Amino acid sequence: MRLSPYRRYLPILDWGSRYTTEMATNDAVAAVIVTIMLIPQSLAYALLAGLPAEMGLYASILPLVAYAIFGTSRALAVGPVAVVSLMTAAAIGNLGLTDPAQIAAAAITLAFLSGLILLAMGVFRLGFLANFLSHPVIAGFITASGILIATSQLKHILGVEAHGHTLIELGASLWAHLSDTNSTTFVIGTAATGFLFWVRKGLKPLLIDLGLASRLADILAKAGPVAAVAVTTLAAYAAGLDTRGVALVGDVPHGLPPLIAPSFDLDLWSSLLGSALLISIIGFVESVSVAQTLAAKKRQRIVPDQELIGLGASNVAAAVSGGYPVTGGFARSVVNFDAGAETPAAGAFTAIGIALAALLLTPLLYFLPKATLAATIIVAVLSLVDFSILKRTWTYSKADFAAVAATILGTLGLGVEIGVSTGVAVSILLYLYKTSRPHIAEVGVIPGTEHFRNILRHEVQTHPALVTLRVDESLYFANARYLEDYITDRVVGCPSVKHVVLQCTAVNEIDMSALESLEAINHRLDGMGVKLHLSEVKGPVMDRLQCTQFLDEMSGQVFLSQYEAMRALGPADDTPLRAAG
């Protein structure tokens, strides 16, 4: 059924018209669980981005409402995430700003730019651009980012000053300040980290063993970070840890996020544009991957181009409400799904919960140790680290391994933006190299059949006057000359060859450069007394060829099938087929 334009661009009109009380109840329960999880995460990720803690809360209110209106996933939970927070920190760090107000303004502008880019991609249906980020590159980038993020938070666990955007810089800075470790901060940080690691796997089974229902045990387990925040905050307050050098969150403005405008300074826009583009594409890839996975479990579907609009609207909403770039988070989306979220309204309910927290709870966060937030980040991101991608790509494809390795090493050694750019560049260069030297197989017929296979792999029959070459790639500017040279080398020195047939089974396109190469091949072969033929040409390719003079000038014919070509050309001199292979 064709959706109306309004329902296409406003999915809320579609699912909202069928919304029931039961759905609302399920969404509200899921929202409670996600809110409990999102409050400490929002604060922690703002810390990771180098921003005031309240910006994390602000980025978790209006963006969720915007996605509920424009998004198509029933379970995706939008908000601050680790990788985008790290990229935000790197983008702002490149500006060399020191004034907190300017840093906040830059983050807001970055969210606005990212939102505009995503909206433009959605309107013009440019979601295919995300395909340039292959899965191995994304996996390598996320693994390296997880290591960088965890390392960057060690300074808060140790209570020392450390700076840097690469693993080497961070490691050297941490080592140089290791002697300044604050023992009280270290105890809080390591205790919180250990507790959170245990909560992830050990708390739920323990609660079930104590007789709690599985659903309640799951909710309490998800509340582990909140418990860590509450206990360490109370401890810091009771023991006056601020007087013992423990870094605290400090004053967090309470109230709803202010409605503000991003900066329209063209110099700032030009400085942030590249970072905004990378954040947009990586955030979209991460988000749509999670959304598609969760939708498939309930036999639902998402619309990737509309997801771009939903995420774009979320980032614009983050910008006008004092937040920073957001996207769909894997962990909280899975929690949202498992908690029974039925529609995007669960996100809107979560926004209400975060808004209440911003109104009522922020004064209580003054004594929250930054080490606790750092522990929350470390535990969350280490689950993203997966070095098995190196082994899998090495076994399956050395080209993919090279792309993964380049991404990981580039991200760790040069920073997140250069790292992911390196991965994309290596992937594209390897693709161009591979397709510039396409696999070309000389084929023969399998006895008793009409099937043609590679003469080097199968026992087949061929004819001495007939050479059949199957090109396993579309023909375009990068591989056209390679095909010319291959055919010339095959025919020169073989006076018995009278016909060359290009089997075009795998050729989906022939561009202008390749057409000129085919014309050159035809002319060269004709000069040697050899005819050029084509077989099994696909309809769209034939349509393009019929718009040119090539078919009229070609010395041979176009055959519907390779078997037809062999029957027509092979027995011409009464020489029987011979075995090959």
Average pLDDT estimate for 155-184:
92
Average pLDDT estimate for 494-502:
93
d(CA 556, CA 522): 9
Residue 7 located in a structural domain = no
Residue 289 CB contacts under 8 Å (≥ 6 apart), including other chains: none
Number of domains in the chain: 2
**CATH code for position 471:** 3.30.750.24
Contact 504, 471 (CB under 8 A): yes
Q: Are 187 and 330 members of one domain? A: yes
What is the SS3 assignment for 278-333?
A: HHHHHHHHHHHHHHHHHHHHCCCCCCHHHHHHHHHHHHHHHHHCCCCCCEECHHHH
Average pLDDT estimate for 248-259:
88
Residue 136 CB contacts under 8 Å (≥ 6 apart), including other chains: 389, 393, 400, 401, 403, 404, 407, 427
pLDDT of 574 reads 45
pLDDT tens digits for range 211-223: 888 777 877 777 7
Residue 266, pLDDT > 50, answer yes
Residue 3, pLDDT > 80, answer no
- The structure's pTM equals 0.82
374, 403, 432 - which closes a domain: 403
Contact 217, 274 (CB under 8 A): no
Q: Are 296 and 387 members of one domain? A: yes
Q: Are 57 and 205 members of one domain? A: yes
Backbone angles phi, psi at 557, to 5 degrees: -125, 170
pLDDT of 108 reads 96
Residue 232 located in a structural domain = yes
Residue 132 located in a structural domain = yes
pLDDT of 556 reads 94
With cut-offs at 50, 70 and 90, classify the pLDDT of residue 1: very low
Instruction: Note the Cα 112 to chain centre separation in Å.
Output: 20
Contact 269, 113 (CB under 8 A): yes
Residue 310 located in a structural domain = yes
Percent pLDDT > 90 in the chain is 56
Q: Are 448 and 374 members of one domain? A: no
Q: Are 303 and 366 members of one domain? A: yes
Average pLDDT estimate for 139-150:
90
d(CA 431, CA 433): 5
Contact 242, 367 (CB under 8 A): yes
Residue 38 located in a structural domain = yes
Q: Are 76 and 211 members of one domain? A: yes
Q: Are 396 and 447 members of one domain? A: no
Amino acid at residue number 455: I
Residue 553 CB contacts under 8 Å (≥ 6 apart), including other chains: 519, 522
pLDDT tens digits for range 66-104: 999 999 998 899 999 999 999 999 999 989 898 999 999
Place of tokens 């078919």: 551
pLDDT of 30 reads 87
Could you tell me the CA-to-CA distances from 211 to 26, 208, 318 in Å, in that order?
A: 24, 5, 42
Amino acid at residue number 111: A
d(CA 56, CA 111): 13
d(CA 337, CA 330): 11
Task: Return the minimum-mean-pLDDT range out of 123-137, 196-210, 331-345, 565-579.
Answer: 565-579
Instruction: Note the Cα 331 to chain centre separation in Å.
Output: 15
Average pLDDT estimate for 383-387:
85
Q: Are 51 and 194 members of one domain? A: yes
Q: Are 375 and 482 members of one domain? A: no
Mean pLDDT score of the chain:
89
Q: Are 479 and 566 members of one domain? A: yes
With cut-offs at 50, 70 and 90, classify the pLDDT of residue 571: low
Residue 517, pLDDT > 50, answer yes
Instruction: Note the Cα 394 to chain centre separation in Å.
Output: 21
Residue 298, pLDDT > 90, answer no
346, 377, 403 - which closes a domain: 403
Nearest of 430, 386, 384 to residue 132 by alpha carbon: 430
pLDDT tens digits for range 10-38: 888 888 888 898 899 889 988 888 888 88
pLDDT of 575 reads 47
Domain that holds residue 380: 20-403
pLDDT tens digits for range 398-417: 888 998 999 999 999 988 88
With cut-offs at 50, 70 and 90, classify the pLDDT of residue 5: low
pLDDT of 338 reads 80
Q: Are 341 and 238 members of one domain? A: yes
Residue 241 located in a structural domain = yes
Residue 39 located in a structural domain = yes
Of the CA atoms within 13 Å of residue 227, those in its CB half-sphere come to 15
388, 403, 418 - which closes a domain: 403
Residue 223 located in a structural domain = yes
d(CA 522, CA 517): 9
Backbone angles phi, psi at 471, to 5 degrees: -95, 115
pLDDT of 6 reads 63
Residue 579, pLDDT > 60, answer no
Q: Are 113 and 188 members of one domain? A: yes
pLDDT tens digits for range 428-454: 888 888 889 999 999 999 998 999 999
